[in-house]
C-alpha cells in the first residue's frame, strides 16, 4: 500500500516524473482529437441529411457504446498489457477518422462504425485510469486525477474551438484528417514514455464478458467498494441533472443566449474547486471535506427556487460546480479498496456508472420539469444532492 503523509503533493512533483508527462501529454491529445472528431462527424451527418436530430445524435453517440464496454468488457483492462491497450486505442481512432473522412460510407454505416468502435473505448480508458496509480503514489495520485479533470475540461473546450476553426478552413474531412494526426502523435508518447507493465490479471480461460460481469458483481457486493461507487455516482447524478434543464430554464426567461454562460460557469467552478482542494488542502483535511463539498454542490442549486436571472444563476452554478471537488476525496480510498488485479475492471465499472447516472440525471430533471416549474426542478435536484449525501455519509466521511 502507498504511504501517504499529511503533506499535499505539488504540480512540480508530478511533472518531474517522466511517465506522468507522457501520460498527461497523450491524454491532452486524446481529448483534443476526440472533441474535434465528434464535432466533424456531426457536421458531416448534418450536411448529408439536413437533420438537426440526427446531427445531435451523432454528437452524443459515443456515450452508449462506452457505457456498454465498461459494463461488459472492462476485465480486458486487467488481462492485457496497459500500454498495448493505450496504443491500440490511439490507432483505432486514427483508422476511424480516416474511414469517416474518405471512405464515402452512407450515414447509417458511419453510425455503425462509431458505435462498434466505441465499445472498446471504455477498455482503453480504463487502462489509462488504472495505470495512473502505478505512476503516482500517495497524494500525487489524487492531485494527478484533479489535474486530469481540470485540463480535460479545458482541452475539450479548446478542442471545440480548434475544431470550429478547422472546419472553417479545411471542411469536416480535413478536420478528421488532422484529428487522425493528433492521435498518431500520441502513439510514440505512449510507446516510448510509458513502461510496458505486465497484465494485472492471469487469464483463466473465462471469456471477457463473463469475467467482467462476474468481477462487476463481486465489486458491487463489496460493501466498501459499493459505498464509494455510489458516493461518486448519486450526488453527481442530480448535479448533472440540474445542468440538463439550465437551457429550458433560461429559454423560458427569454435569455436563451445566457445558457452557455451558466453552463460554462459550472465547468469553471468544477475546475476551480478541483484546483484549490487538490493543490492547497492537505490529504487529512481533504478527507474531511466530503460531506461539506456535497452540501456546497446542493445548496446553491436550491437557491434556484428564487428564479434568479442569468448573472445570479451563473454565480450559483459556479458555487455548485466547486462542490464537485468532493470526488477527489474518494479517489485514494477507491484505489486502496480494489484488488490490484481488478483495478482496470473497477475503473471501467466506475466510468460506465458515471456515464449512466449522468444520463439518468437528465431524465430525472426533465421529468421534474414536466411536473413543476423549471426553476423548482433545479432546486429539487439540489435537495436530492443533499439527500444522497446524507444517505451516503459513511463513504463520504473519513474512517476514524
Same-domain status, 162 and 233: no
Q: Tell me whether residue 397 is in a domain.
A: no
Q: Tell me whether residue 218 is in a domain.
A: yes
Q: What is residue 124's predicted lDDT score, i.e. its pLDDT? A: 92
pLDDT tens sequence across 72-120: 989 999 999 999 999 999 999 999 999 999 998 998 999 899 888 888 9
Same-domain status, 234 and 372: yes
Same-domain status, 284 and 180: no
pLDDT tens sequence across 254-312: 887 777 788 888 888 988 999 999 889 888 888 889 999 999 999 999 999 999 999 99
CA gap 318, 300 in Å, rounded: 9
Q: What percent of the chain has pLDDT over 90?
A: 51
301 touches 385 (CB < 8 A): yes
- What is the total count of domains within the chain? 2
CA gap 224, 84 in Å, rounded: 31
Q: Within 10 A of 83 (CB to CB), how many other CB atoms are there?
A: 17
224 touches 345 (CB < 8 A): no
Same-domain status, 185 and 315: no
354 touches 236 (CB < 8 A): yes
Same-domain status, 173 and 266: no
pLDDT confidence band for 3 (50 / 70 / 90): very low
What's the domain range around 251? 208-391
Same-domain status, 189 and 239: no
Q: What is residue 4's predicted lDDT score, i.e. its pLDDT? A: 42
228 touches 337 (CB < 8 A): yes
160 touches 48 (CB < 8 A): no
Q: What is residue 39's predicted lDDT score, i.e. its pLDDT? A: 79
Same-domain status, 269 and 166: no
Q: In the chain, how long is the greatest CA-to-CA distance?
A: 61
Spell out a b/e string for 90-100, using b for 16 or more CB atoms within 10 Å of the CB, else e. Answer: bebbbebbebb
Q: Tell me whether residue 160 is in a domain.
A: yes
Q: What is residue 118's predicted lDDT score, i.e. its pLDDT? A: 86
Q: Tell me whether residue 201 is in a domain.
A: no
Same-domain status, 59 and 139: yes
CATH code assigned at 385: 1.20.1250.20
pLDDT, the chain, mean: 88
Q: Which of 149, 167, 193 is a domain's end point? A: 193
CA gap 297, 400 in Å, rounded: 25
Q: Tell me whether residue 4 is in a domain.
A: no
Which DSSP state fits 6?
Answer: S
Q: Which of 163, 193, 223 is a domain's end point? A: 193
> Taking Cα atoms as reference points, which of 266, 268, 274, 272 lies closest to residue 244?
266
Q: Tell me whether residue 277 is in a domain.
A: yes
pTM, 2 dp? 0.85
Q: Tell me whether residue 202 is in a domain.
A: no
> Per mean pLDDT, which of 17-26, 27-36, 69-78, 285-294 is the most reliable?
17-26
Same-domain status, 168 and 246: no
Which DSSP state fits 203?
Answer: P
Q: Tell me whether residue 3 is in a domain.
A: no
Same-domain status, 123 and 265: no
Same-domain status, 169 and 293: no
Q: Which of 193, 222, 256 is a domain's end point? A: 193
Same-domain status, 225 and 371: yes
User: Which grid cell is 385?
Assistant: 444532492
pLDDT confidence band for 1 (50 / 70 / 90): very low
> Taking Cα atoms as reference points, which of 162, 184, 157 lies closest to residue 170?
162
100 touches 113 (CB < 8 A): yes
Backbone angles phi, psi at 195, to 5 degrees: -65, 150
> Taking Cα atoms as reference points, which of 349, 339, 328, 330 lies closest to residue 122?
349
Q: What is residue 399's predicted lDDT score, i.e. its pLDDT? A: 60
pLDDT at 52 over 80: no
Which DSSP state fits 393?
Answer: T
Amino acid at each position: 500500500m502507498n504511504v501517504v503523509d499529511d503533506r499535499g503533493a505539488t504540480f512540480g512533483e508530478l511533472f518531474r516524473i517522466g511517465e506522468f508527462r507522457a501520460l498527461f501529454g497523450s491524454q491532452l491529445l486524446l481529448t483534443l482529437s476526440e472533441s474535434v472528431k465528434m464535432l466533424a462527424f456531426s457536421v458531416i451527418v448534418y450536411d448529408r441529411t439536413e437533420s438537426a436530430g440526427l446531427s445531435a445524435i451523432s454528437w452524443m453517440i459515443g456515450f452508449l457504446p462506452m457505457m456498454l464496454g465498461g459494463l461488459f468488457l472492462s476485465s480486458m483492462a486487467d488481462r492485457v498489457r496497459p500500454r498495448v491497450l493505450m496504443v491500440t486505442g490511439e490507432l483505432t481512432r486514427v483508422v476511424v477518422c480516416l474511414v469517416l473522412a474518405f471512405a464515402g460510407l452512407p450515414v447509417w454505416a458511419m453510425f455503425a462504425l462509431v458505435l462498434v468502435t466505441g465499445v472498446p473505448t471504455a477498455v482503453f480508458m480504463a487502462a489509462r485510469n488504472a495505470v495512473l496509480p502505478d505512476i503516482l503514489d500517495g497524494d500525487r495520485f489524487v492531485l494527478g486525477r484533479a489535474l486530469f479533470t481540470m485540463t480535460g475540461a479545458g482541452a475539450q473546450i479548446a478542442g471545440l474551438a480548434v475544431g470550429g476553426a478547422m472546419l472553417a478552413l479545411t471542411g469536416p474531412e480535413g478536420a478528421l484528417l488532422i484529428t487522425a494526426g493528433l492521435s498518431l502523435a500520441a502513439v510514440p508518447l505512449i510507446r516510448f514514455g510509458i513502461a510496458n507493465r505486465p497484465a494485472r490479471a492471469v487469464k483463466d480461460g473465462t471469456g471477457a464478458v463473463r469475467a467482467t460481469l462476474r468481477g462487476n458483481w463481486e465489486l458491487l457486493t463489496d460493501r466498501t467498494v459499493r459505498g464509494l461507487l455510489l458516493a461518486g455516482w448519486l450526488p453527481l447524478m442530480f448535479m448533472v441533472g440540474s445542468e440538463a434543464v439550465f437551457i429550458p430554464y433560461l429559454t423560458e426567461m427569454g435569455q436563451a443566449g445566457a445558457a452557455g454562460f451558466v453552463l460554462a460557469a459550472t465547468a469553471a467552478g468544477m475546475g476551480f474547486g478541483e484546483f484549490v482542494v487538490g493543490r492547497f488542502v492537505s490529504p487529512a483535511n481533504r478527507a474531511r471535506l466530503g460531506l461539506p463539498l456535497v452540501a456546497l454542490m446542493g445548496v446553491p442549486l436550491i437557491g434556484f427556487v428564487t428564479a434568479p436571472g442569468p448573472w445570479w444563476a451563473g454565480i450559483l452554478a459556479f458555487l455548485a460546480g466547486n462542490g464537485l471537488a468532493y470526488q477527489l476525496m474518494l479517489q485514494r480510498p477507491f484505489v486502496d479498496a480494489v484488488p490490484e488485479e481488478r483495478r482496470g475492471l473497477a475503473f471501467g465499472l466506475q466510468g460506465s456508472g458515471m456515464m449512466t447516472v449522468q444520463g439518468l440525471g437528465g431524465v430525472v430533471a426533465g421529468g421534474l420539469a414536466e411536473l413543476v416549474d423549471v426553476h423548482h426542478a433545479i432546486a429539487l435536484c439540489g435537495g436530492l444532492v443533499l439527500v444522497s449525501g446524507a444517505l451516503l455519509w459513511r463513504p463520504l466521511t473519513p474512517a476514524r
